[in-house]
């Protein structure tokens, strides 16, 4: 005898109709093997009495389960579990799974029933903005974002053009308005020589980096980065099967002589750099090394991936132009983003490269993400066209410049005896190294308990080295918030 009264649970407070609850539970019992193929179910009156529901509810539940193929009705005989269903042989779970509270639940199952490879180097904490005081990785202040202007641009999208055109499929490379405006902006501010066909719009710079890695790299290819570098980049290179080698980084950027020596010994496929403000140390690659790097790329035939993640914020005279502005042989793939310039929710990045590579990247992007957010791309393109975004950049630059100066003064005055740093020429963070006696993990934990987010910096350590440093972002905090943050930092240091 099947204890239907115990197995079938009716929740009349649920938004799901009772007949659907019962139909779903019949399916679950059949999948679990509790009800077997061909088994006769109670009559509708009998089951309605057992569950204290209306008979028509049971009739509706049976009809729904019949329609879904789990049950079959035989006129004059009753309702049965479908005879075509295979027999379920229940097996005992392994000991470690039998005690797992997630196993057997319809949702939230923890372990799949099949094997797959888990890649350890992808295991990296995901940063989120939880509010409160923070000295972050170098994020923009979203409170400065031109949200009102963006809202107006969004509304204009709904009044623009043919609805069948702009609410349907769009160009995989990105909205033409944004590519046109971005091309003009990059040519004007960075000395590039682009057309819209040289640009692929992506969902943030990380997507552009991933696509580029997949197209350019094959298993065994050599990628060269600085000893200190962005983990998101090396993760993509390694996932593409490349061998990642590193060269020293000093106060003038990557050591191009070390790169030349390496290139003389083995073929190099790609060199990844952040020359404007090296990540994480913020140093700028000086001009003679830039020239030498481009010469080496032409001599040895490797591609340069230039990640220019915060070009718009440089406080010392005019920014140094990107490598891509001096690239006459098509050796540089230039990647940028609006997430650091406006807000992280603006998932717009871009890849600038020769048109043949852009076309291939677009073909690959199509099988991953058919197109970007057309409405957002139009709205941002509109903000470029009206000048609203350029005005935002100028306003943010003044604000971040003042915050950088105030923050560096605070660091020097309050904790200058235990940290070393150089006031950065640009960017949104200070690279600080702490006294070796200070344990960064303990310091981060104590600051967190006092309401201040502070990275322990471990992700910046090259293999086998302990830099005992971290990035201290200042742009996302007001001057008052910076004062309170440094006060907590000082107290946490003194408590060690």
For residue 419, the domain's CATH number is: 3.90.1150.10
If asked whether residues 302 and 253 sit together in one domain, one would say yes
Identify the pLDDT of residue 164.
61
| Token pair 């115990």 in the structure block, residue | 6
If asked whether residues 219 and 297 sit together in one domain, one would say yes
Identify the pLDDT of residue 207.
92
Total residue length of the chain: 496
What's the mean pLDDT when you consider all of the chain? 88
DSSP run (H or E) holding 206: helix 205-216
How many other C-beta atoms are found inside a 10 Å radius of the C-beta of residue 104? 11
Average pLDDT on 439-460 reads 94
Residue 27 maps to a domain = yes
If asked whether residues 468 and 374 sit together in one domain, one would say no
Q: Poorest-confidence range of 105-109, 249-253, 329-333, 409-413? A: 105-109
Residue 101 maps to a domain = no
Residue 118 maps to a domain = no
Average pLDDT on 241-258 reads 95
Q: Are strands 222-226 and 270-273 parallel, antiparallel or unpaired?
A: parallel
Residue 116 has pLDDT above 90, yes or no: no
Q: Distance (Å, rounded) from C-alpha 60 to C-alpha 71?
A: 12
CATH of the domain at 56: 1.10.10.10
- The answer to whether the beta carbons of residues 280 and 471 sit under 8 Å apart is yes
| Token pair 């020589």 in the structure block, residue | 193
pLDDT digits (tens, 9 = 90+) for 462-475: 888 889 999 999 99
* CA-closest candidate to residue 83, choices 43, 35, 45: 35
If asked whether residues 486 and 382 sit together in one domain, one would say no
Q: Poorest-confidence range of 260-274, 328-342, 365-379, 400-414? A: 365-379
Strand, coil or helix: 72:
strand
Residue 421 has pLDDT above 50, yes or no: yes
Residue 264 has pLDDT above 90, yes or no: yes
Residue 148 has pLDDT above 50, yes or no: yes
Residue 115 has pLDDT above 70, yes or no: yes
Identify the pLDDT of residue 151.
82
- The answer to whether the beta carbons of residues 21 and 65 sit under 8 Å apart is no
280 preceded by cis ω (within 30°)? yes
Identify the pLDDT of residue 414.
95
* CA-closest candidate to residue 417, choices 434, 392, 439, 405: 434
* pLDDT bucket at 104, cuts 50 / 70 / 90: very low
Domain boundary among 335, 356, 388: 388
Identify the pLDDT of residue 475.
94
The range of the structural domain enclosing residue 251 comes to 146-388
Q: Are strands 332-337 and 303-307 parallel, antiparallel or unpaired?
A: parallel
* CA-closest candidate to residue 165, choices 175, 156, 152: 175
Counting the structural domains of the chain, the total is 3
CB-based burial label for 398 (10 Å; 0-12, 13-18, 19+): exposed
| CB contact set of 328 (below 8 Å; sequence gap of 6+) | none
Identify the pLDDT of residue 128.
64
CATH of the domain at 317: 3.40.640.10
Q: Distance (Å, rounded) from C-alpha 31 to C-alpha 85?
A: 9
* pLDDT bucket at 412, cuts 50 / 70 / 90: very high
Residue 98 has pLDDT above 50, yes or no: no
If asked whether residues 254 and 217 sit together in one domain, one would say yes
If asked whether residues 428 and 470 sit together in one domain, one would say yes
If asked whether residues 377 and 452 sit together in one domain, one would say no
Average pLDDT on 45-65 reads 93
CB-based burial label for 179 (10 Å; 0-12, 13-18, 19+): buried
Residue 406 has pLDDT above 60, yes or no: yes
Identify the pLDDT of residue 105.
46
If asked whether residues 346 and 263 sit together in one domain, one would say yes
- The answer to whether the beta carbons of residues 305 and 212 sit under 8 Å apart is yes
* pLDDT bucket at 168, cuts 50 / 70 / 90: low
If asked whether residues 222 and 348 sit together in one domain, one would say yes
How many other C-beta atoms are found inside a 10 Å radius of the C-beta of residue 342? 24
Identify the pLDDT of residue 467.
93
Residue 454 has pLDDT above 90, yes or no: yes
Residue 97 has pLDDT above 80, yes or no: no
- At residue 226, φ and ψ (nearest 5 deg) are -75, 160
* pLDDT bucket at 158, cuts 50 / 70 / 90: confident
| Token pair 């600038």 in the structure block, residue | 352
pLDDT digits (tens, 9 = 90+) for 424-449: 988 999 999 999 999 999 999 999 99
Residue 68 maps to a domain = yes
Average pLDDT on 1-16 reads 87
* pLDDT bucket at 375, cuts 50 / 70 / 90: confident
Residue 98 maps to a domain = no
Q: Poorest-confidence range of 228-232, 247-251, 373-377? A: 373-377
Identify the pLDDT of residue 463.
84
If asked whether residues 424 and 349 sit together in one domain, one would say no
């Amino acid at each position: 005898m099947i204890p239907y009264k115990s197995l079938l649970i009716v929740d009349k407070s649920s938004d799901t109709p009772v007949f659907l609850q019962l139909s779903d539970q019949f399916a679950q019992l059949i999948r679990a093997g509790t009800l077997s193929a061909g088994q006769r179910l109670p009559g509708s009156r009998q089951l309605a009495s057992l569950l204290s529901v209306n008979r028509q509810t049971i009739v509706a539940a049976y009809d729904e389960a019949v329609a879904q193929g789990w049950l079959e009705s035989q006129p004059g005989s009753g309702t049965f579990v479908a005879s075509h269903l295979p027999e379920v042989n229940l097996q005992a779970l392994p000991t470690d799974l039998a005690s797992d509270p997630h196993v057997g639940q319809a949702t939230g199952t923890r372990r799949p029933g099949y094997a797959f490879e888990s890649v350890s180097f992808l295991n990296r904490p995901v940063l989120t903005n939880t509010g409160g005081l923070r000295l972050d990785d170098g994020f923009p202040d979203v409170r400065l974002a031109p949200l009102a202007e963006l809202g107006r641009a969004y509304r204009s999208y709904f009044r623009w053009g043919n609805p069948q055109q702009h609410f349907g499929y769009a160009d995989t490379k990105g909205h033409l308005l944004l590519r046109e405006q971005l091309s003009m902006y990059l040519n004007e501010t960075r000395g590039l020589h682009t057309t819209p066909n040289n640009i692929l719009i992506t969902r943030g710079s990380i997507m552009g980096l991933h696509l580029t890695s997949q197209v350019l790299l094959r298993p065994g290819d050599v990628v060269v980065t600085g000893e200190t570098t962005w983990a998101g980049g090396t993760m993509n290179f390694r996932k593409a099967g490349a061998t990642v080698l590193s060269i020293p980084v000093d106060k003038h950027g990557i050591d191009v002589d070390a790169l030349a020596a390496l290139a003389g010994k083995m073929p190099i496929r790609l060199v990844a750099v952040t020359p404007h403000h090296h990540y994480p140390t913020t140093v700028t690659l000086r001009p003679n090394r830039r020239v030498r790097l481009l010469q080496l790329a032409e001599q040895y035939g490797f591609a340069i991936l230039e990640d220019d993640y915060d070009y718009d914020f440089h406080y010392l005279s005019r920014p140094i132009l990107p490598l891509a502005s001096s690239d006459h042989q098509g050796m540089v793939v230039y990647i940028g983003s609006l997430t650091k310039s406006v807000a992280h929710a603006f998932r717009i990045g871009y890849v600038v490269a020769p048109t043949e590579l852009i076309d291939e990247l677009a073909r690959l992007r199509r099988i991953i993400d058919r197109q970007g957010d057309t409405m957002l791309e139009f709205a941002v393109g509109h903000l470029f066209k009206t000048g609203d975004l350029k005005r935002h950049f100028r306003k943010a630059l003044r604000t971040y410049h003042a915050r950088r100066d105030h923050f560096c003064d605070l660091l020097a005055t309050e904790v200058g005896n235990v940290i070393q740093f150089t006031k950065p020429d640009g960017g949104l963070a200070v690279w600080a190294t702490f006294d070796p006696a200070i344990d960064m993990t303990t310091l981060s934990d104590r600051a967190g308990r006092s309401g201040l987010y502070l990275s322990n910096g471990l992700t910046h350590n090259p293999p086998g080295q302990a830099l005992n440093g971290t990035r201290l972002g200042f742009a996302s905090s007001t001057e008052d918030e910076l004062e309170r943050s440094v006060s907590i930092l000082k107290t946490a240091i003194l408590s060690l």
